[in-house]
């Protein structure tokens, strides 16, 4: 991962999260802000669990049908990421996590990932062997 992306993830994002939480504290109060953080974490974890179970059943169904469950596996990885960012305190990461829980958004991201992989394979950056 390039240095600038790591800089954003580990330095700039926490500063932005803290800024949002402090502004929210000023707007609605400390207790309500803390409750909101806990609620988004609890609701997010519950939704990740429900969708994760659904994806596991879809993976099993695809395997039983003799298909490779590539779409479901990518969805599973996105749900893991969603779960990780939803339990992280902060509203920016929660927003990203909840976006990953929406099937339409996951479809969009999955297509973007597929296009990136195809681009790397076609450019010779990733070499596949049969």
- Interval 13-68: pLDDT, tens: 899 999 999 999 999 999 999 999 999 999 999 999 999 999 999 999 999 999 99
Q: Which residues contact 55 (CB under 8 A, 6 or more apart)?
A: 72, 75, 76, 79
Q: Where is average pLDDT lowest: 7-11, 14-18, 111-115?
A: 7-11
Reply yes or no on whether the pLDDT at 127 is more than 70: no
Task: Please count the CA atoms within 13 angstroms of the CA of 42 that sit on its side-chain side.
Answer: 6
What is the rounded CA–CA span in Å between residue 90 and residue 96? 10
Give the model's pLDDT for residue 128. 64
Of the pLDDT bands very low, low, confident and very high (cuts 50, 70, 90), residue 130 is: low
What is the rounded CA–CA span in Å between residue 50 and residue 60? 16
pLDDT in tens, 73-97: 999 999 999 999 998 889 999 999 9
The label of the residue with tokens 């990421």 reads 81
Give the model's pLDDT for residue 1. 64
């Amino acid at each position: 991962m390039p240095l600038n992306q790591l800089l954003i993830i580990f330095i700039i994002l926490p500063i932005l999260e803290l800024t949002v939480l402090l502004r929210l504290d000023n707007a609605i109060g400390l207790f309500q802000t803390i409750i909101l953080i806990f609620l988004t974490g609890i609701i997010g974890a519950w939704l990740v669990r429900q969708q994760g179970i659904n994806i596991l059943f879809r993976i099993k169904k695809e395997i039983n049908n003799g298909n490779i469950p590539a779409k479901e596996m990518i969805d599973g990885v996105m749900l893991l990421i969603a779960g990780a960012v939803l339990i992280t305190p902060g509203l920016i990461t929660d927003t990203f996590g909840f976006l990953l829980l929406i099937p339409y958004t996951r479809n969009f991201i999955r297509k973007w990932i597929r296009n990136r992989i195809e681009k790397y394979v076609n450019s010779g950056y990733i070499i596949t062997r049969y």
